[in-house]
Amino acid sequence: MQTDAEPFLQRVRAFPDDDGPRLVFADWLEEQGGPGLARAALIRIQIALEGLSEGDPARSELLNAERILFDAHLKDWVAPFRAFCTSPVFRRGFVDEVNIDARQFLRHAHDLFAAGPVRQLQLMDVGANLGRVMQSTYLGRLSGLTVYAQHLRDPLALAVARCPYLTGLRQLNLRKNRITDAGADALAGAQALSSLEEINLSENELTEAGARALAASPHLGSLRRLDLRQNPVGPVGAEAVAASDRLAALEWLVLSECGVGSPRLQTLPRPSALLRVTTLDLSANGLGAAALKAILTPAADAPVRLRSLDLSRNDLGEPGARAVAGAAALTGLRTLKMSDCRLNDDAIRALASSPHLSAVTEFDLGNNPAGDAGFEAFLHTPHPRVMQLTLPAIGISPPLRRELDRRFRGPAGA
């Protein structure tokens, strides 16, 4: 059967991003009957799941059917990969992502890509094999590459930047490798990486200069998601990235624990440029009410696209909550996270009654020192669209918690 199936599989491998060859293969499997029926079902289920949003009610039934298939057949389906890689992840009916040791990759790259249309790799134990790995033409088959926590420093960034085979790469994760501004500068200057849509450089050593290099890159115009958490880029670096005309496609920006809230923020000309992205994480940045007002007060002609804002783990207190509640720039916001922000009852009431937050569907207000006196305001909120409300684990009476849980779906008690 494998010989008969090979022409179909060759086409799937040749066009890994196209659903057509996968569905043709599913048709053929169904015609053959027998054990191939399960694989055909998996292909159709996972392709259908790819087209559904997270909140679509049809997902539950499909995920249950997927789980039943995996329980019965996963062991056989991953058998071709066991000899040289781990943690296979299926997408659209085939193994799409694996973890593999660098030495195993160098020895078995041909076997790996013959076994399935693999698109994403996490390379492990790279070490001294970095140069050889980056010379492999098989990297040209990838849409995603992860080298996590290898502490390879700037040589890793330089090797990735100089690799001529990563022109189709859309996702790059170099988290926790002690990369500095020199590495960021190399990545920013790599023309071969111009297809990148997502970059994760979190937990490295980038400063303001590294953020400026990324912001000025002529090759990152397709970038939609950028994760810089736990890099000391500061407010200047944050502003440079958010305000960059070169990064015009940027939608999702993570700046958690980046020192954005330092006093220098209030001296910047365009801190409200941070509102240009649709999803912004400013958690744990030492933000106070004054800094928050500077961010939330855009110029008259400044674009505001923000839909999701995370301000968790900032010592905002009631003044910060009032700054948020009074921000007209947040009228399009859908998700607001302010857990662990030292919000008292008056702060919660201000958020619950704000006319500017009427479009919010998800509030995360967990781990704040507020109780019934504050959260009762959500029973009379002008926010008719609220669907999920996360409450503090303590401080709220059981009757009110039950009422809020009944009214607002989601984890009312985290």
412: pLDDT strictly greater than 70: no
Mean pLDDT of 265-294: 95
- Phi-psi region for residue 371, left (φ > 0), alpha (ψ -120 to 50) or beta? beta
In a domain? residue 343? yes
- With contact defined as beta carbons under 8 Å apart, do 135 and 164 qualify? no
- Give CA–CA dist 367/312, Å, rounded: 10
User: How high does pLDDT run on average in the chain?
Assistant: 94
Q: Please give the pLDDT value at position 408.
A: 85
Q: Please give the pLDDT value at position 88.
A: 96
Distances (CA, A) of 282 to 44, 149, 255, 288: 39, 23, 5, 12
Minimum mean pLDDT among 51-55, 186-190, 194-198: which range? 51-55
Residue 300, classed as helix, strand or coil, is: coil
Of the pLDDT bands very low, low, confident and very high (cuts 50, 70, 90), residue 327 is very high
Q: Please give the pLDDT value at position 414.
A: 45
- Give CA–CA dist 155/77, Å, rounded: 37
Is 97 or 412 the better-scoring residue by pLDDT?
Answer: 97
Residues 349 and 398 in one domain: yes
CA angle (410, 412, 414) in 5-degree steps: 105
In a domain? residue 410? yes
Residues 100 and 39 in one domain: no
117: pLDDT strictly greater than 50: yes
Residues 43 and 120 in one domain: no
Residues 335 and 390 in one domain: yes
Residue 317 tokens, joined: 């207190």
Residue 185 tokens, joined: 């500068």
Q: Please give the pLDDT value at position 413.
A: 42
In a domain? residue 276? no
Residues 8 and 57 in one domain: yes
CA angle (372, 378, 380) in 5-degree steps: 110
Residues 47 and 66 in one domain: yes
Q: Please give the pLDDT value at position 190.
A: 98
> Number of structural domains, the chain?
3
Q: pTM, whole model, 2 decimals? A: 0.93
Residues 411 and 315 in one domain: yes
Q: In this predicted model, what pLDDT tens digit does every residue of 212-245 receive, in sequence order?
A: 999 999 999 999 999 999 999 999 999 999 999 9
Residues 329 and 397 in one domain: yes
**Domain-terminating residue out of 51, 73, 95:** 73
In a domain? residue 286? no
In a domain? residue 129? yes
Counting beta carbons within 10 angstroms of the beta carbon of residue 153, is it exposed (0 to 12), middle (13 to 18) or buried (19 or more)? middle
Q: In this predicted model, what pLDDT tens digit does every residue of 303-319 receive, in sequence order?
A: 899 999 999 999 999 99
Q: Please give the pLDDT value at position 407.
A: 86
Residues 6+ apart with CB under 8 A from 247: 214, 215, 217, 220, 221, 223, 226, 241
Residues 14 and 99 in one domain: no
- With contact defined as beta carbons under 8 Å apart, do 117 and 142 qualify? no
- With contact defined as beta carbons under 8 Å apart, do 383 and 356 qualify? no
Mean pLDDT of 166-178: 97
Mean pLDDT of 358-372: 95
**Domain-terminating residue out of 99, 116, 134:** 134
Of the pLDDT bands very low, low, confident and very high (cuts 50, 70, 90), residue 401 is very high
Share of the chain above pLDDT 70, in %: 97
Q: Please give the pLDDT value at position 3.
A: 65
In our burial notation (b when 16+ CB lie closer than 10 A, e otherwise), range 277-286 reads: bbbbbbbbbb
Residues of the domain holding 377: 307-414
Minimum mean pLDDT among 47-61, 130-144, 146-160, 306-320: which range? 47-61
- With contact defined as beta carbons under 8 Å apart, do 199 and 172 qualify? yes
Distances (CA, A) of 197 to 141, 194, 222, 233, 292: 16, 9, 5, 21, 29
Q: Please give the pLDDT value at position 300.
A: 77
Residues 6+ apart with CB under 8 A from 30: 36, 37, 40
25: pLDDT strictly greater than 90: yes
Q: Please give the pLDDT value at position 168.
A: 95
Residues 399 and 353 in one domain: yes
User: Among 367, 272, 271, 360, which residue's Cα sits nearest to residue 316?
Assistant: 367
Of the pLDDT bands very low, low, confident and very high (cuts 50, 70, 90), residue 380 is confident
Minimum mean pLDDT among 112-121, 249-258, 341-350, 385-394: which range? 385-394
In a domain? residue 315? yes
Which DSSP string do the residues of 184-209 spell out, in sequence order? HHHHHT-GGGTT--EEE-TTS---HH
User: Among 255, 252, 257, which residue's Cα sits nearest to residue 239?
Assistant: 255
Rg (CA), the chain: 24
290: pLDDT strictly greater than 80: yes
In a domain? residue 128? yes
Minimum mean pLDDT among 138-147, 200-209, 299-308: which range? 299-308
